[in-house]
Amino acid sequence: MNFQLQNIKKYSLLKNTLISFGLLSCILAAQAQNQLPNFKNEFGKIKGEVPGCAIGIIHDGQLIHEQYYGMANIQYQVLNDEKTQFNMGSVSKHITAAVLFRLEKDGLINKNDKLIKYYPQGPKWFEKITLSHLIQHKSGLPDYVNDPTMAPKFFLSIAQQPEITNALIVGLPVTHEQIVQAVLQELNNLSSLAYEPGIHTIYSNTGYLFLGDIVNVATGKNLRHWANHYIFEPNKLENITVHNNSSAELKWAATGYMRLPSTKGYSSLVETLVSFGDTGVITSLQDFTKWMTVLSQANDSDSVWNGFLIEYSESKAKNSLMGLYDNGLSINTYKNNTIYSHNGQSLDSMTSNFWIAPEKKIGYVQMCNTIVSKVPSKYKIFKYVDEYLKLQEKVSL
């Protein structure tokens, strides 16, 4: 009996010690988190019933920081959280480029193909433009959304088509196919390109709009199918998609909002142009950071994405108004680290920004359901990761 009692006492003491040690570890971990750089300057004012953001930091394949601010939907009091899906706007372009990259590897498409091959009804100068020109923004095509000359004509052309106006009256958006046809119509009215393809790099949504469409023309299956096949399904990403169905609703999709200066309130917006290729990716924070990890490892020798991330070169960036750009990504350097990045803004006023630094295995993303211009500096993100790793070492000792 005494021997058994002694063992019970030893067991109780060990159990209490382990519990205390566990509690101490939790306390130390919480204290450590409080010592990390915070993001109050960027997002601290997002309080109350206002739209907001989701932000994430990755390091070496792990999501080491995620934070959610504001509401996904004000009317129904739904907070932004890990389930919320945001419209990534132009960040979608590198997904389009990634699909084309894999299609070419599989022999289903050739980036040296001329645009005229896919649109024989287009202007004669389509013979000068290759798919590579479109991917690198070197096509000379005016931007159908932002060009001061073409954009007004494009939207006027859309407004004058009865089948489109009738659909808009009952709340149906303009489809991708309708957008492509309207853009082709306006391009046929131009006598020439803005510049000879390959000479300059000037941002144009038109090129990626065509690329999203060409995937379907070349293979008989749309961009969404191939994005699922090459990217989302292999990486088990269930909360990311190319949204190309104008009548479908996504279960956890955030609502886009525009600030109303007169009342300091917000007005909800619906995207009336449902295009893809240049835009169209809807994603949760956690799934997008998983894809960022895949991208960060793209140039590993055994990766199926090897060659997708182009090395930075000053000579290649010389004649560009926007720096080096390839495969849907801006390519720059920060403290001798190559940075691949893109930002986006959708027509329903959602804004996004992301970048990866593969050498450091670091990445940052922010996605917001309203226009947010503040983005933490790369210095701050690098510092966050450094401090995080130091504190992890302390906690584990």
| Global pTM value | 0.89
- Domain count for the chain: 1
Beta bridge partners of 273: 174
CB-based contacts of 92, cutoff 8 Å, min separation 6: 242, 276, 277, 278, 279, 280, 281, 344
pLDDT at position 8 is 46
Q: What is the pLDDT of residues 106-115, one digit of tens each?
A: 999 999 999 9
Per-residue pLDDT band for 24 (boundaries 50, 70, 90) equals very low
Pairing of the two strands 329-334 and 337-345:
antiparallel
In a domain, 2, yes or no: no
pLDDT at position 192 is 87
Mean pLDDT of 362-369: 98
Contact 198, 140 (CB under 8 A): no
Q: What is the pLDDT of residues 262-284, one digit of tens each?
A: 777 899 988 888 899 999 999 99
CA 302 centroid distance within chain: 25
Which carries the bigger pLDDT value, residue 150 or residue 246?
Answer: 150
In a domain, 26, yes or no: no
In a domain, 18, yes or no: no
Contact 367, 85 (CB under 8 A): no
In a domain, 250, yes or no: yes
Is residue 202 scored above 70 in pLDDT? Answer: yes
DSSP string, 266-290: EEEE---B---SSS-EEEEHHHHHH
Q: What is the mean pLDDT of the chain?
A: 89
CATH code of the domain in which 329 resides: 3.40.710.10
| Cα dihedral 279→122→194→217 (10° resolution) | 30
Angle at 260 between CA 257 and CA 263, to 5 degrees: 130
Q: What is the pLDDT of residues 226-270, one digit of tens each?
A: 999 999 999 999 999 998 765 566 789 999 999 998 777 899 988
pLDDT at position 237 is 96
Mean pLDDT of 322-338: 93
| Residue 76 domain boundaries | 40-396
In a domain, 106, yes or no: yes
In a domain, 158, yes or no: yes
In a domain, 31, yes or no: no
In a domain, 211, yes or no: yes
